[in-house]
Chain A
C-alpha cells in the first residue's frame, strides 16, 4: 500500500520537476553508470538511504569509488530483483515483526542469485554490500560462503579460499590442544 502511494507521489513530482527523479544513478570505480530505484536503494542500503536523505546524491552519477562495475551491477541487479520478488509491500511491512531472528534463510531467488557468481564476484559483492550497509545482501552472500566452508577440513578451506598458513608448528599444536573437541575425527 505504501509503495503504491510512494509511486503515485513520485509520478506527480516527476511531472513537476524533472530533477526530482525516482531513480538514483550510481557510478562505479571504473566510471560505469547504473540506475537503481530510489525506493529500493533507500530500503536495502543504509548508506544510500543516508545519502538520499542527506541530499548528497549526484544526478550525473554518485561516485562509489570503492566498488567495481561488476559488483555494482550485481548490487543493482539484487535491488531490482528484491523489489520484484515482493508480492505485496503491505504484507511485508506488517506491523508485527513475525520473525525475531536477525536472519532468515535465503529465499530461492536469492540462492540462485549468489549461486551463479564466481568466487571473485561473490567476494566483491560481499565487500560492496558491506560498504553500502546492505544487511540482507550481506547475510545472503555470507551465508553462501558459509556453505562453501561447511564440512571442509582446515586444509581444504585454505585451498578453496586462498589462505596461507602462517602459524608455526608449535602454535598450531597449541590451538589444536585448546580446541581439541573441534578437531575430533579430523
Chain B
C-alpha cells in the first residue's frame, strides 16, 4: 500500500514545509483539511524563490514576487530566517530587476536603479528580528541544487555576470538596524562595499558571514552601463572583493586598489567569529608588504579581534605575495583558534619559479643542505603573530597545486609546525598526493640524518604523528605531550 504523506505527524510535515519555497509551502493549505494550518511553520523561515513565479513564463514577474514576499512576511509576523534566491538567465535577471522601478526608493539614499532585491525585502517590519540571511543568484540549470553545479556552469555564470543587486544599507537612523542577524550568506550577489560595511556595522550579533562569488563594488555598476560586453566582471568572480575599472575612468588601477578595498572591507568585521573567504584570484593580490604607512593604515593588530576560525581559499601564484598575505591575516587575527588554508595553482603560472629545496628540519639542521628556506613575509623576525603564540590550535592546509608549487606548501607546513606553540592538530590534504611524497621523503630523511631535531621539537612540546595510507603521508597530527612525559617522534613508514 502506498504511503500517504499526510500520515506523518504535524511537526514532521512542518519541517518539510520549512525547506519549501514559501509560496509553494503556503499553497499546500489547499491539499486537504489535514494540511490546513500547518503553514506558517514554527521555524519562521521564509524562502523567496523566483522559480516559484516562473511556471508559465520565462521571466519571473517582479510585481508578483514582491507582493508575495510582503504577504509571506506578514503572515509570519516575525521572521527568523530569510532566504532570497533569484534564478533566471542573465537578460531575465536584468529585466526582472529593472521592473523593480515599480516601487521607487522611499529612502533618499537608495538609488532608484532597480538593482536591489533583498534590500527591498529586508525593509519589511517582519524582518526586524531576522537571524539568518541568505541571498543567492544562479542560472537555471538542469539540477535544482547549487551544489551539483559543474565548473562549466560556474564559468558560464561568471562570464554572464549573474548577480543579484543587493542593498543592505540599513534604513536611517542606522543604529543596530539588524539587531538579531547572526548569520549572513551571500552567493553571486553584487553588493556595494559601503552598504555591506554599514550592514555589518549595524548587526551587532553577527558571528557568521559567508560570501561566495560575491562581487563587491565601490560603485554601483548598472546593467545598462556596459552593453559592449567588455566589462571586467570576468575577473570579478571573487568572494571577498571585486573591482571594476571599466565603467568609471576615475577608478584607480584595480591591481593596486584591490588590496586596499579588501582590507577596508575587513575593518568592518571585528565582531565576526567565523570567516570563510573563497577568493577567485591570487591570494597574493591582497598582500600588504613593505610600505610602512600603508601597512599601518590598512592593517592594525587585532583588526579581526574576535575571529576564532578563518578559512581562506584562493589561487597560489608562484612569485606573488601569498606568504605576505597569510602573514597579514595572521597579524589581524590574534585569537584565531582554527585556521584553514586552501591553495590552488592557476594553470600557466607554475613554470616561472625554480624548485627550492625544502625540508621539515628544525633550526638545528643548519649544516643540512636540505634546510628549508624560510618564507619571506612570514618568517621575518620583525613580525610577531600573537595567534601563533597563544590561541591557534588547529591548522588545516589543503593544496591543489602542481608539484613545484608544493614546495611552498611544504614551507607552510614547516612554518606552522614550528611556530605554533599550542598546535594540537594539523591536517594536510594535497589532493593528488604529490606533496605527500615530498614531505614523506623529507620527514624520513631528517629523522635519519639529525635526531637532534626531535629534541628541538620536544622543547616546543609538539610532535608529529603521521598517518600513513598506502605508504603516503596524508596527515600530520601534532599533540602537545602531557607535562613531564617526553614526547615521542612517531613517524614510521608504512
Taking a contact as CB atoms under 8 Å apart, the answer to whether B26 and A182 are in contact is yes
Contact A165 B68 (CB under 8 A): no
Which listed segment binds A: B31-39, B98-106, B154-162, B230-238?
B31-39
Q: With an 8 A cutoff between CB atoms, is A162 at the interface?
A: yes
Smallest beta-carbon distance B53→chain A, Å: 6
Q: Of B11-19, B89-97, B326-334, B409-417, which binds chain A?
A: B11-19
Contact B24 A152 (CB under 8 A): yes
Question: Judging by beta carbons under 8 Å apart, are A138 and B15 in contact?
Answer: yes
B396 proximal to A (CB < 8 A): yes
- Residue contact A100 to B16, C-beta cutoff 8 Å: no
Pairwise interchain contact B30-A154, C-beta atoms closer than 8 A: yes
Contact A98 B274 (CB under 8 A): yes
Decide: B4 and A88 in contact? CB cutoff 8 A. no
A143 within 8 A of B: yes
A184 in contact with B2 given A96-B274, A98-B309 (CB within 8 Å): no
A186 to B4, CA, bound (A): 24
Name the B residues within 8 Å of A103 (CB-CB): 19
- Determine whether A60 belongs to the interface, using a CB cutoff of 8 Å to chain B: no
- Which residues of chain B have a CB within 8 Å of any CB of chain A? 2-6, 8-9, 12, 15-21, 23-24, 26-36, 43, 51-53, 55-57, 61, 64, 67-68, 71-72, 81, 131-132, 144-145, 147, 182-183, 207-208, 273-274, 308-309, 337-338, 394, 396, 424-425, 427, 475, 479
The 10 listed contacts between A and B (C-beta, < 8 Å) are A88-B427, A88-B475, A91-B427, A98-B273, A101-B132, A146-B20, A154-B31, A163-B32, A163-B35, A182-B71
Interface pair B24/A94, CB less than 8 Å apart: no
Contact mask A161-186 → B, CB, 8 Å, 1/0? 11111110000100110010111111
Contact A176 B425 (CB under 8 A): no
In the complex, which residues of chain B have a beta carbon less than 8 angstroms from the beta carbon of A164?
32
A94 contacts B15, C-beta separation under 8 Å? no
Contacts of B4 in A (CB 8 A): 161-163
Alpha-carbon separation in the docked complex, A154 to B23 (Å): 12
Q: Known contacts A150-B21, A172-B30: does B338 contact A142 (CB below 8 Å)?
A: no
> What total count of A-B pairs have CB within 8 Å?
167
Contact A139 B425 (CB under 8 A): no
Complex Cα gap A119–B8 (Å): 13
Measured CB to CB, the nearest residue on chain B to A151 is B51
In whole angstroms, how far apart are the Cα atoms of A159 and B264 in the complex? Answer: 55
Contact yes or no, A163 B5, CB < 8 A: yes
Question: Which residue on A lies nearest to B56, using beta carbons?
Answer: A185
Residue in B27, B57, B207, B308 whose CB lies within 8 Å of A100: B207
Q: A1-B425, A179-B27 are in contact. Are A120 and B33 (CB under 8 A)?
A: no
Binds B, one of A10-18, A22-30, A124-132: A124-132
In the complex, how many angstroms separate the beta carbon of B8 from the nearest chain A beta carbon? 6
Task: Please determine whether B68 and A181 come into contact, CB atoms closer than 8 angstroms.
Answer: yes
**The residue from A96, A102, A186 contacting B338, defined by CB atoms under 8 A apart:** A96
Which among B5, B61, B182, B273 has the highest number of chain A CB atoms within 10 Å? B5
Cα–Cα distance between A119 and B3 once the two chains are bound (Å): 8
Verify B337–A101 contact, CB threshold 8 A.
Answer: no
Residue of A nearest to B185 (CB): A101
| Given A161-B4, A162-B3, A186-B55, 10 extra CB contacts under 8 A | A91-B427, A96-B274, A100-B182, A120-B3, A126-B12, A146-B19, A150-B144, A154-B28, A184-B61, A184-B68
Please name all residues of chain A whose beta carbon is closer than 8 Å to the beta carbon of B20 when the two chains form the complex. 146, 149-150
A90 within 8 A of B: yes
Given A154-B27, A181-B68, A100 and B132 touching (CB < 8 A)? yes
Interface: A56 (CB within 8 A): no
Pick the residue among A1, A138, A161, A176 that contacts B30 (CB under 8 A).
Answer: A176
Residues of A within 8 A of B29 (CB): 175, 179, 182
> CB of A123 within 8 A of chain B?
yes
Smallest distance from the beta carbon of A77 to chain B beta carbons, Å?
20
The answer to whether B147 and A105 touch across the interface, beta carbons within 8 angstroms, is: yes
Complex A-B, nearest 8 residue pairs according to Cβ-Cβ distance, in ascending order: A146-B19, A161-B5, A182-B26, A181-B71, A98-B274, A123-B3, A182-B27, A181-B68
From the candidates B15, B30, B64, B182, name the one contacting A185 in the complex (CB within 8 A).
B64
CA distance A108 to B36 in the complex (A): 34
Task: Tell whether, in the assembled complex, residue A162 and residue B5 are in contact, meaning their CB atoms are under 8 Å apart.
Answer: yes
